[in-house]
Structure 1
Amino acid sequence: MRGMRHSESRCGGGYEDHYGVGRHGRWGKHRHGHGRHGGRGDMGSGDMMRAGRMLAQGDLRLLALALIAEQPRHGYEIIKVLEDKTGGWYAPSPGVVYPTLTYLEEASYVTAQADGAKKLYTITAEGRAYLEENRDFVDALLERLEAVGERAQEYRNRDDDRPKVPRLVRSALENLRDVAEERLKKDPDAEAKVVEILARAAGELKKS
């Protein structure tokens, strides 16, 4: 493991969903009980990436190492910092973060010191060297996170400016979206039919 460049440590370079899906499940949707931000809705098609597509395997290792390089951190702090940087739209689960920290410790990139019931992780000289080898890539990852956070704030501000939607109406809209998504999962070719039904419903609302 030691001395490997990031591109060599990706196990084939593929993307793995478990590195992206955190407490909030997916980018842009915070329903199904996954987080504190339920019902905020999509952040725009194409604008926000699914969490599972955001981080390639190993990217979280570099992000965690970069955060630990700033100051010694506990695992939960890493989760919180990433959540804060993205405006609440991405938070890796403990089941992803702690194995990542174990990997960094086994690679001698960090040391772990008992701090009560928790572990405090500190970067090593070898970890700093590895981080510097991948500095450009790490900076690009951090910029991406911050850009997502800025976009999240923009959408949050936009939502705040909108008239409040009654709870029952909001629930009905979420149910409609769930049903539409389920139909498309079963039959991807039904897109035109789904659009037709939604357009008809919108037309009826305009007339009423």
Structure 2
Amino acid sequence: MFNSIFKDPRGEHHHHHHRRHAERRGGPGGGHRGHGRGGDDAGHRDRPSFLRGRKFGADELQLLLLSMLKDRASYGYELIKILAEKSGGFYTPSPGVIYPALTYMEDVGYVNVQQEGTRKRYAINEQGEAYLADNQPTADALLAKLEMFARQSDSVNQAMFEHRQPFAPSLTQAIHDLRSQLHAYHGSSEEIQAQAADIVNQAVSQLKSIK
């Protein structure tokens, strides 16, 4: 069932939406190929590929987004931030990947969209919930994969710390807290990020003054 509406090349449902989406994005196949139905790697630039072997196909990304939206309605940039936080910063999909996925889900009727000024707020609807329920084992496996990335991120950093020089527990905790805090700034405004950078730079200069 997970593959049925996307993978069957004869599926009318898929072709209708594929065509509509392609027309919107500039001609036959325009941009949609990168959103990724084909077996070839023609659209690899548009796919999330933060590290080799750590990317999600279009169907998988949709299930991840629907899982996030089941918790609460969100804007595109918020969804990027949530995915980054859940993966320990390993997976931060670009707007060029997220927004076409959301547009596609709007086309096939899995989400409702509320225009708020220049922003669009996405909410899962009954059809989206049914599709997610049909593919719940896959969705759960994808969420587990994000958690695995987050744990790997922690253990890689931990191994690096231990390899170089064992830190006192208090310093290890302080470094961990700093990293957690910095993840919270994914997708926040440049002004906020500049303030965060100032604080980190002040801390760095203070550290340099320790004799």
Secondary structure in structure 1 of the residue aligned to 2:156: helix
Unaligned runs of 5+ in 1: 28-48, 165-208
TM-score w.r.t. length of structure 1 = 0.58
**C-alpha contact (below 8 Å) 1:13/1:56 kept by paired residues:** no
How far does residue 156 in structure 1 lie from its aligned partner after superposition?
1.4
TM-score w.r.t. length of structure 2 = 0.58
**C-alpha contact (below 8 Å) 1:108/1:126 kept by paired residues:** yes
The one-letter amino acid of 1:92's match is P
- CA distance in 2 between partners of 1:13 and 1:65 (Å): 23
Equivalent residue for 1:67?
A: 68
Say which of 30, 48, 54 aligns to 1:20. Answer: 48
How far does residue 158 in structure 1 lie from its aligned partner after superposition?
2.1
**C-alpha contact (below 8 Å) 1:79/1:92 kept by paired residues:** yes
Equivalent residue for 2:117?
A: 116
Secondary structure in structure 1 of the residue aligned to 2:93: coil
Say which of 50, 53, 65 aligns to 1:50. Answer: 53
**C-alpha contact (below 8 Å) 2:112/2:122 kept by paired residues:** yes
Give the aligned length.
133
Distance verdict in 2 for CA 1:63–1:13, change over 3 Å: farther
Equivalent residue for 2:87?
A: 86
**C-alpha contact (below 8 Å) 1:82/1:90 kept by paired residues:** yes
Unaligned runs of 5+ in 2: 8-36, 166-211
Distance verdict in 2 for CA 1:145–1:13, change over 3 Å: farther
**C-alpha contact (below 8 Å) 1:19/1:60 kept by paired residues:** no
Secondary structure in structure 2 of the residue aligned to 1:6: coil
- What is the correspondence of 1:1-208 to structure 2 with a 5 Å cutoff? 5-8=1-4, 9-10=6-7, 11-12=37-38, 17=44, 18-21=46-49, 26-27=50-51, 49-51=52-54, 54-163=55-164
**C-alpha contact (below 8 Å) 2:112/2:124 kept by paired residues:** yes
Higher helix share: 2
How far does residue 71 in structure 1 lie from its aligned partner after superposition?
0.5
The one-letter amino acid of 2:48's match is G
How far does residue 14 in structure 1 lie from its aligned partner after superposition?
6.0
- CA distance in 1 between partners of 2:48 and 2:53 (Å): 8
1:39-64 deviations in Å (ceiling 9; x for gaps): xxxxxxxxxx533xx31232101111
**C-alpha contact (below 8 Å) 2:58/2:101 kept by paired residues:** no
Distance verdict in 2 for CA 1:131–1:68, change over 3 Å: same
- CA distance in 2 between partners of 1:13 and 1:76 (Å): 29
- Give the percent of matched residue pairs that are identical in Structure 1 and Structure 2: 34
- CA distance in 2 between partners of 1:144 and 1:13 (Å): 22
